[in-house]
Amino acid sequence: MVEERAPAIPSVRGIDLSGLWSILALSQGVIVLPVATAFAALVAWQAIAVYGHISPTILPPPMMVLEQLVVNFWLILKHTIPTTYETLLAFGISIPLGIALAGMMVYSRLAYQALYPNIVFFQLIPKIALAPLFIVWLGIGTPSRVTFSIFISFFPILVATTAGLQSVETTMLRLCRSLRMSQWQILTRVRFPMSPPFIFSGMKVAVTLAIIGIVVGEFIASQQGLGYLILFASSRQQTDLALACIAVLCVVGLALYGCVSLFEKLVMRWYDTR
Amino acid sequence: MQAEISCNRVRKVFGKGSKAFEAITAATFSVEKGEFVCLLGPSGCGKSTLLMMIAGLESVTEGTILAGGTYMTEPRAEIGIVFQDPTLLPWKTALQNVLFPIEMMGRSRSAYLGRAMELLRLVHLDDAIHKRPRELSGGMRQRVSLCRALIADPSVLLMDEPFSALDAITRDDMNIVLLELWERYRKTVLFVTHSIREAVLLADRVLVMGRSPSQIITDIKVPFARPRDFAVGETAQFNELCAVLRREIEIARTSEDATRH
């Protein structure tokens, strides 16, 4: 037994090592390189800020930002919650809104002709310029921020879903007509099930816009949220706190984007189409 | 015997005014009940358009189309269609795709489950009933599509170059599968193709369609006994018939050139 085992060990080690190397080689381009680059940039930033005698108000070193994250953890968390909640609310409403509008426009040619050019035209307006008006219309509370955020985030979902619903091929539509399917049946049984890949790509764009909408709303009028805290910190020249808030915003954005990606993977596996 | 499909001077013009394009000049022919007819012609002769009109999927500019004795105005349940594309729903399994028409007609799926399984068995897809289209080869997908066209037990089967996107070997297999299915159900079939050998192997009658003027120029009976297999394709008579058809298509093309110049 022992004799048999003894020569086996080095070869096992050999395999492990080559396996480790191949993982390193594989992950080099995907993980190691971008992370190393970012880390190098942070180190350079730290060095310039500290040894260049730059005022922390202009450019606080990353370590100071990190310190703010730790010291003001509860304060930042307190303001992260409403921002995240309102973003989720806005995103959660723009998904069904965008999908339903797209469904309506593909279902009815009349609705398409009446609405689509107007919706596109509306999107050409610099929407951020409209943000103060939402405060006038809906006050300084959650409703105005969420409505503004929906206003800017439903569009990509609408456009992507419309494209998805219209991606059904002519021959497929001929088959549907030969089966004497109603427009409603074609929409619900063929067009919509064909659309998830499109809808998800629209959702990925929309989720980042939803956060922008909420933060802009918080800049304009709010007593809470990360947008408010950034404005507050900036006004007191606490650049390190403002940057800490921005870092948290990035994390929130990444997390939401990740959730959409994960949901997409689950749905696509369930559909098993691609 | 009553004709199952009968076309009388059917004309089709796409567009209006100066942009009008005449796809079919005047097509007149009929298909008897239980007959297998191939519609053969060069590309662009309007044979697919004619088939879509018979399916009720294209409007008729002039002339009349009768199916089962009544005027064809819209798609009907008793007409099954196989397109060049398999047009399967990617999220449904082979079995679910076959049952899709039943579902859409609001009929009971369970009542047709046995028939669906039988059809899939007849096209040798027993092992693939729960597979999705992306797991199937091109030939297998088209076999599922064939089963789907037959599930509601239509009286007529219209096939629009169903095997032209497949490779030659798969195509031969599909022809045999189709012959077996036809022997079993004896549907009225109108099969559009541009392959002369395919037409002669499958059909009871071959119609040749010409271009400009686009009409039926030849109607030839195929005398070979059924059931048929590839052995028939090696006989001298088979090749003679193919040669005759090839000449007919050639004559149609030269006369077309003569009128043009």
Tell me: do A8 and A71 sit in the same domain. no
| pLDDT, tens only, B187-233 | 999 999 989 999 999 999 999 998 878 888 889 999 998 888 888 88
Amino acid letter at A199?
Answer: I
ipTM entry:
0.90
- Judged against a pLDDT cut of 50, whether residue A100 lies above it is answered with yes
Tell me: do A192 and A235 sit in the same domain. yes
Whether the Cβ atoms of residue B80 and residue B22 lie closer than 8 Å to each other? no
Give the residue-averaged pLDDT of A83-112: 95
Selected residues 164-203 of chain A with any CB under 8 Å from a CB in chain B:
169, 171-172, 174-181, 185, 189-190, 193-194
Give yes or no for B73 touching A (CB within 8 A): no
Give yes or no for B85 touching A (CB within 8 A): yes
Amino acid letter at B112?
Answer: Y
Tell me: do A50 and A88 sit in the same domain. no
In this structure, the strands spanning B156-160 and B188-193 are parallel
Look up the domain containing A74 and give its range: 62-271
- The total number of residues shown for chain B amounts to 261
- What confidence category does residue A33 fall into, taking pLDDT thresholds of 50, 70 and 90? confident
CATH number for the domain spanning A235: value is 1.10.3720.10
Best to test chain B binding among A167, A177, A179 (most B CBs inside 10 Å): A179
Tell me: do A69 and A18 sit in the same domain. no
Selected residues 108-137 of chain B with any CB under 8 Å from a CB in chain A:
132, 134
Tell me: do A3 and A96 sit in the same domain. no
Distance from CA of A59 to the nearest CA of B (A): 54
- Cα A30 to chain centroid distance, Å, stands at 20
Letter string b/e over residues B157-178, b meaning 16 or more CB atoms within 10 A of that residue's CB: bbbbbbbeebeeebbbbbbebb
Using left for φ > 0, alpha for ψ between -120 and 50, and beta otherwise, residue B95 falls in alpha
| pLDDT, tens only, A34-91 | 899 999 999 999 999 889 888 888 889 999 999 999 999 999 999 999 999 999 999 9
Listed in sequence order, the residues at least 6 apart from B150 whose beta carbon sits closer than 8 Å to its beta carbon are B80, B119, B157, B181, B185, B187
Q: Which domains does chain B have, with CATH numbers?
A: 3-75+157-162+188-260 (3.40.50.300), 79-153 (no CATH)
Give yes or no for B100 touching A (CB within 8 A): yes
- Judged against a pLDDT cut of 50, whether residue A3 lies above it is answered with no
CB atoms within 10 A of CB B152: 19
Tell me: do A235 and A162 sit in the same domain. yes
Whether the Cβ atoms of residue B158 and residue B55 lie closer than 8 Å to each other? yes
Last residue of a domain, one of A54, A72, A95: A54
The pTM (predicted TM-score) of the whole model is: 0.83
Our count of domains for chain A comes to 2
State the pLDDT at residue A271.
72
Here the tokens at position A110 are 């009349």
Query: Residue by residue, what is the 3-state secondary structure of A216-273?
Result: HHHHHCCCCCHHHHHHHHHHCCCHHHHHHHHHHHHHHHHHHHHHHHHHHHHHHHHHCC
Distance from CA of B157 to the nearest CA of A (A): 12
